[in-house]
Amino acid sequence: MKQSDEENLYKSFRKGDIKAFEHLYKMYQPRMYAYCVNLVHNSDIAKDLVQESFLAFWENRENIHTDFSVVSYLFKIVHSNCLKYLRRASIMSNFSDLTDLKLKEIEMNHYSPEKNIFNNIYMKDLEKIYANSLDKLPEKCREIFVLSRQQYTTSIEIATKLGLSLRTVENQLYKATKILREELKQYT
């Protein structure tokens, strides 16, 4: 999308154009979902958090005083809703998951909305990156990697399936991820 198109979209959105909102929603809902689900590890909760955030985004559209990167405002809402949820969940479980919360907070801090939003992967066109990246993997590596992406397939299962040692599988996964990481850097 051209920058001027984007600005027009933001403008229309702020004026209450529901078509513009739909456009933004369809573009960013999966990314915001991805951000939430990898923190809360529950699809329904993640969806609810995202939905709640988009509602707030829509309801506060008139309070956004910029035509520039309106979506960073959206990410702020998602980020803070997510953090709120994780902290409340921790309280509800009597802080039995403090280690987990700490790990997540380190991660969330990395994506803090105060930091440059343009380095944020969740603001990027992941679809395009994905399409370009996977081909770069060596064949063996890709096979293991594709298997690993299927949900609930453990490394042991992959190892059994391919007749490899667990160590090999995990090394290959690591290698694949690292290659992809290098690919990703082109987009940052």
Partner 1 sequence: MTQFTNINNNLIIRYLRNDLSEAEKLQVISWLEADQQNVEFLLGLKEAYLVSRWQTVKESADVDNEWEKIHSKISLEQDSKQISKRKFIFQFARYAAIILLAFGFGFLGNHYYDVIKSHDTTFSTGLGRSSVVILNDGSKVTLNAKTTLKYSNNKSNAREVTLNGEAVFDIKKDHGKPFYVNTSYYKIKVLGTLFNVSTYDNDDYVSTTLMRGIVQIVDNKSNKILTELKVGERFYLDKKTGNYSINMQKDLNDDFGWYNGNLCFNDILLNDLTNKLEREFGYAFEIKNHNVQTYRYKANIEKESLENIMKYISMVTPDVHYKINEKAKKILIY
Near partner 1 by CB under 8 A, which window of 2-10, 70-78, 80-88, 166-174? Answer: 166-174
Helix (H, G, I), strand (E, B) or coil at 163: coil
Handedness of CA 62, 68, 74, 76 (dihedral sign): negative
Q: Taking CB under 8 A as the rule, does residue 94 contact partner 1?
A: no
Near partner 1 by CB under 8 A, which window of 1-9, 66-74, 84-92, 163-171? Answer: 163-171
Helix (H, G, I), strand (E, B) or coil at 74: helix
Q: Give the shortest CB-65-to-partner 1 separation in angstroms.
A: 22
**Is residue 120 within 8 Å of residue 134, measured between CB atoms?**
no
Alpha helices in the chain (DSSP H): 3-14, 18-40, 43-59, 70-92, 98-110, 126-133, 139-149, 155-162, 166-185
Nearest CA to 75 out of 88, 91, 64 is that of 64
Q: Taking CB under 8 A as the rule, does residue 90 contact partner 1?
A: no
Spell out, one character per residue from 102 to 141, where the chain touches partner 1: x when CB under 8 A holds, - when not: xx--xx--x----------x----xx-xx--xx-------
Residues that bind partner 1 (CB under 8 A): 18, 21-22, 25-26, 29-30, 33-34, 37-38, 41, 43, 47, 50-51, 54-55, 58, 99-100, 102-103, 106-107, 110, 121, 126-127, 129-130, 133-134, 145, 148-151, 154-155, 167, 170-171, 173-174, 176-178, 180-181, 183-185
